[in-house]
């Protein structure tokens, strides 16, 4: 069973994720965001990025957004331990879902915290 992680933007909890997907060799985890409330949508993220000089790409018609690293986007396990990486991004659209990605999580922490992803990847033939 996947652990649940809290997602904070600044001091505001915007939701949670289980980090369902991963790229262990790159130290990456990503997962669907379950938002704390409905105000966290395309307009919210676009306004946040503009106000805080965070780069993003968008499709206005689809209300789709993909950010570059958001320095004030943080993830914590339920014990309060911060999951540190080199970059944290959000992508998604209002009519579908939003994903959070943490990139560059260092080893051995990655293997300890996301052992199920690590083992699943390295148990596949050809992945050593």
Across 93-120, average pLDDT: 94
Task: Determine the pLDDT at residue 125.
Answer: 79
- Within 10 angstroms of residue 106's Cβ, the number of other Cβ atoms is 11
Task: Determine the pLDDT at residue 103.
Answer: 97
* % of the chain at pLDDT higher than 70: 98
pTM for the predicted model, two decimal places: 0.93
Q: Between these two residues, 124 and 77, which has the higher pLDDT value?
A: 77
pLDDT value at 20 more than 60 = yes
CA 13 to CA 39: how far, in whole Å? Answer: 12
pLDDT value at 23 more than 90 = yes
CA 72 to CA 40: how far, in whole Å? Answer: 15
- Taking only the tens place, the pLDDT of each residue in 66-103 is 999 999 999 999 899 999 999 999 999 999 999 999 99
């Amino acid at each position: 069973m996947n652990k649940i992680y809290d997602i904070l933007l600044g001091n505001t909890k915007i939701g949670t994720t289980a980090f369902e997907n991963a790229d262990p060799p790159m130290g990456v985890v990503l997962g669907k965001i379950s938002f704390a409330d409905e105000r966290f949508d395309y307009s919210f993220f676009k306004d946040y990025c503009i106000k805080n000089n965070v780069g993003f790409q968008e499709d206005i018609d689809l209300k789709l957004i993909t950010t570059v690293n958001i320095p004030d986007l943080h993830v914590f396990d339920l014990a309060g331990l911060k999951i540190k990486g080199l970059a944290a991004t959000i992508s998604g659209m209002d009519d579908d879902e939003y994903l959070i990605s943490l990139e560059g999580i260092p080893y051995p922490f990655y293997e300890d915290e996301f052992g199920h992803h690590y083992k699943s990847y390295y148990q596949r033939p050809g992945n050593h």
